[in-house]
Structure 1
Amino acid sequence: MTPPVFAHGNLRLYLLSLLAEQPRHGYELITALSDRFGGTYSPSAGTIYPRLAKLEEEGLVTKSTDGRKTVYEITDAGRAELAAREPELAGIEDEVTDSVRRLADEVRSEVSSAMKSLRADLASAARDARRSGTTTRASDSVTSETNRAVRDADVAINEFRQQLRTDLRLQAARGGVTDANVNLLRQRLVELRTEFVDSLPTKD
């Protein structure tokens, strides 16, 4: 099913813009669309070919055979329509960019929440260690080691968050963040936190 970013007539317009760059066959158009949207949208042949047939019927594209492939090429009439609707095409690009940024923001929010939760667990473990400590030298040594471990873990968490945010910004610029990516990140962060908390020593 065509995603909401392609309102009525928008996919048809976008196909024209791709053909204005160079002649392409159907599979190349599908691949080009998928690449433009960073994998967030990959149309089926059943979505593309009927629209190409309609564009040909309207005289906006022509087709020719290259071996076993049918190659589509924009006509002068197609270029004229594309020029007349240039503001609409720019609007489509803006909507796609907004969608990708929204997904990236969701990922950043999930990461921030998970990291805060993990840091709270570390702080709680440190408090428990301090409360249960005695004045003996051995106990002081354990408490000191725990505090150092908490600081190291906090540094590791911040480094991870900063690096992931950098990776997200780069990928978002390419349009490559999807709901599936967000869901996978949520799942892995929950699993990581559970595994980490389970690994913490418990009181006797």
Structure 2
Amino acid sequence: MTPPVFSHGSLRLYLLKLLDETPRHGYELIQALGDRFGGTYSPSAGTIYPRLAKLEEEGLVTKASDGRKTVYRITDAGRAELAARGDELGRVESEVTDSVRRLAHEVRSDVTTAMKSLKAELASAARDARESASRVPPVSSTTPDDRTTSRLALQDAELALNVFRHDTRAALRTHIGSGRSFTSAQLAELRIELERAATSIKRILTH
């Protein structure tokens, strides 16, 4: 069984730490946790909001409406608890580091397994295509079966896309894991480049 990302009570303390850095609304807390884990972990709203409600009941955080959003702020009592549990917070930080490494390893293992499976499928498809070609008389000595060729080309394309996805995710995790920032401006630029690539692919397919 995969161990939990946070041990019992650790997420609650880590939320206080994030709110001590700056007031945030719920989605920003989820995003901040995702950033801390380099994209390998993102808690659900059902995980975050009940804990925020409990912290509010205990007087450790307050909330206020800011337009359509609810912003949470740590209270003096919350800061006092952080100060009193400084050693425990240090252990939580170590837990986060260990969890990032474990999750990154699991992601790499999953990708490696998927790549091996896809390569095996490609080899099987190529073998089937060769066997089919040997059984069916060719229309001409130089013209391959269009459907077989298209199927092999599609699987090659899917392999290339998986390699691209794996390499891009690895680059992002390495970037964030090295302590460098990944800003909203960089995310916006990344999305533009991905959309541009998607447009180019569609243009190639329509030729």
Q: Which bin holds the TM-score, normalised by the shorter protein?
A: 0.5 to 0.7
Give the corresponding residue for 2:143.
Answer: 142
The gaps in structure 2 that reach 5 residues or longer are 178-207
Partner Cα distance (1:17, 1:45) in 2: 16
Question: What residue in structure 2 maps to residue 191 of structure 1?
Answer: none
Tell me, what secondary structure is at the counterpart of 2:74? strand
TM-score between the two structures when normalised by the length of structure 1: 0.57
Shift of 1:127: 3.4
- State how 1:98-109 maps to structure 2 within 5 Å: 98-109=102-113
Q: Is the 8 A contact 1:5 1:96 kept in 2?
A: yes
User: 1:7 aligns to what?
Assistant: 7
Q: Distance in 2 between matches of 1:119 and 1:144?
A: 18
Q: How many pairs were matched up? A: 161
In structure 2, the residue matched to 1:127 is 131
**Are the aligned partners of 2:13 and 2:82 in contact in 1 as well (CA < 8 Å)?**
no
Report how far residue 143 of structure 1 moved.
Answer: 5.4
Query: What's 2:57 paired with?
Result: 53
Q: 2:61 touches 2:75 (CA, 8 Å); kept in 1? A: yes
Verify the 8 A CA contact 1:119 1:154 in the aligned structure 2. no
> Higher Cα Rg: structure 1 or 2?
1
Counterpart-to-counterpart distance in 1, 2:106 and 2:63: 41
Gap runs ≥5 in structure 1: 176-204
Q: Between the two proteins, what is the percent identity of the paired residues?
A: 19
- Structure scoring higher RCO (CA < 8 A, sep ≥ 6) equals 1
Taking structure 2 as the reference length, what is the TM-score of the superposition?
0.56
Q: How well do the aligned residues superpose, as a CA RMSD in angstroms?
A: 4.0
- In structure 2, the CA distance between the partners of 1:119 and 1:13, relative to structure 1 (3 Å rule), is same
Q: 1:131: how far off?
A: 5.0
Which of these residues, 81, 86, 92, is aligned with residue 95 of structure 2? 92
CA contact (8 A) 2:19 2:72 kept: no
Q: Which whole-Å deviations, capped at 9, do the CAs of 1:131-186 have from their partners, x for residues lacking one?
A: 5457xxx64223598998788567535423321212332565679xxxxxxxxxxx
Q: Secondary structure at the match of 1:72?
A: strand
Out of 118, 122, 138, the residue aligned to residue 122 of structure 2 is: 118
* CA-to-aligned-CA distance 1:39-68 (integer Å, 9 cap, x gap): 7312253232113433x3xxxx46476779
How far apart, CA to CA, are the structure 2 residues paired with 1:48 and 1:91?
23
Matched, 1:167 2:168: yes
Partner of 1:32: 28
Contact (CA 8 Å) 1:17, 1:82: kept in 2 or not?
no
Distance across 1 between alignment mates of 2:163 and 2:142: 32
